[in-house]
Amino acid sequence: MKVLVAVKRVIDANVKVRVKTDGSGVETANVKMAMNPFCEIAVEEAVRMKEAGVATEIVAVSCGGASCAETLRTALAMGADRGIHVQTDLALQPLGVAKLLKAVIEKEQPKLVITGKQAIDDDSNQTGQMVAGLLGWAQGTFASKLTVEGEQLRAKREVDGGLETVLLKLPAVVTTDLRLNEPRYASLPNIMKAKKKPIEALTPDALGVDPTPRLTVLKVIEPPKRKSGTKVKTVAELVEKLRNEAKVI
Ligand code: AMP
C-alpha cells in the first residue's frame, strides 16, 4: 500500500510568534521554521505502517517556497522513501494546497493520504477535508488510532465528548490528532541517508493547477494581554468575588 503524507513548513512551535507592525501578517524573517507538529505525527504513522509491513512506500509532499525541501528532508530522515516538492512562492491557502495535493494524488495513486489535522500557523483545519472532498474519497479526521483491515481502514476519531470509530473504504484521507502517536527524532545515520533519497520538483503549472489565494487577510492583531490574577484566601472570598466582582454566579 502506497501512503502519501502532506507536510507543511511552519514557524517552529517553540518560537514566540510576533505580529508585523503593519498588521499584514506574522514575522517570518529570521524565524526558526520546522515541520508542522501534526505533519510529524502523519509521517510517524506512515513509517509505523511501513515497519508493520502494511505500507510499501511513503511519499512525502510539501507545497511552497524553496525551503520546503528542508522539511521534506526531515520527513525522509524520519523514514519516508521519497519527496515531492510543489514549488511556488505564492502565499498558499488550504483550497490551493488541496487542489495541488489532489493533482499529485491523481499522479501517484496512493491508497492512503495522511495530513495533519491543522497547521499551527493558520490553524485552518481545512486541507485534509478539502482533499477528500475534491477526490470524492472517504475521510477520517482527528484520528487517534488507525488500523488497516484489508481494503478498509478503521479510524478512531477524537470528537467532542469522546471517541468515534469509523470504518473507511480505501482509498481514503486521514487527518492526525495529537494522541495518534509520538513522532520519533531522526537519527544521525538516517539524516545522512535522507540526503540520498530523491525529491522530485513540480510546479503548479505542470500539475495544471492555479493555487492563487482566494481570501484576503485584512488585518492580523495580537491577542489582548491577559490581566494578572489575584489569590483568594478562602472559599467564601472566592464566592463573594465571583458573585459581586465577576458577576458570574
Ligand atoms: P490546514 O488546513 O492549513 O490547517 O493544514 C492541515 C494539513 O494540511 C497540514 O497539517 C498538512 O498536512 C497539510 N498542508 C497544509 N498546507 C500544506 C502545504 N503547503 N504543503 C503540504 N501540506 C500542507
Spatial distance between the Cα atoms of 5 and 60, rounded to a whole number of angstroms = 5
8 CA from centroid of ligand 1 (Å): 5
Give the model confidence (pLDDT) of 38-95 as tens digits. 999 999 999 999 999 999 999 999 999 999 999 999 999 999 999 999 999 999 999 9
Torsion over CA: 64, 140, 42, 58 (sign): negative
CATH of domain 2-223: 3.40.50.620
Question: Is 159:172 a contact under the CB 8 Å cutoff?
Answer: no
Q: Which three cell numbers stand for residue 185?
A: 527524532
> Ligand 1 test: best mutation among 86, 89, 101, 127, most atoms within 8 Å of CB?
127
| pTM assigned to the model | 0.92
pLDDT at residue 230, as a whole number: 87
Asked if 159 and 142 count as a contact pair (C-beta separation under 8 A), the reply is yes
Q: Which long-range contacts (CB under 8 A, 24 or more apart) does 85-88 make?
A: 85/61, 85/199, 85/200, 85/201, 85/202, 86/61, 86/62, 86/202, 86/203, 86/204, 86/207, 87/201, 87/202, 87/203, 88/63, 88/64, 88/203, 88/204, 88/211
pLDDT of 173-228, one tens digit each? 999 999 999 999 999 999 999 999 999 999 999 999 999 999 999 999 988 888 88
Q: What are the residue ranges spanned by the domains of the chain? A: 2-223
Mutate to test the pocket of ligand 1, among 5, 9, 35, 36 (most ligand atoms within 8 A of CB): 36
Question: Is the model's pLDDT at 229 over the cut of 90?
Answer: no
Q: How far is the CA of 102 from the centre of ligand 1 (A)?
A: 13
How far does the centroid of ligand 1 lie from the alpha carbon of residue 6, in Å?
6
CA of 159 to the centre of ligand 1 (A): 20
Pair 62, 72: CB distance under 8 Å: yes
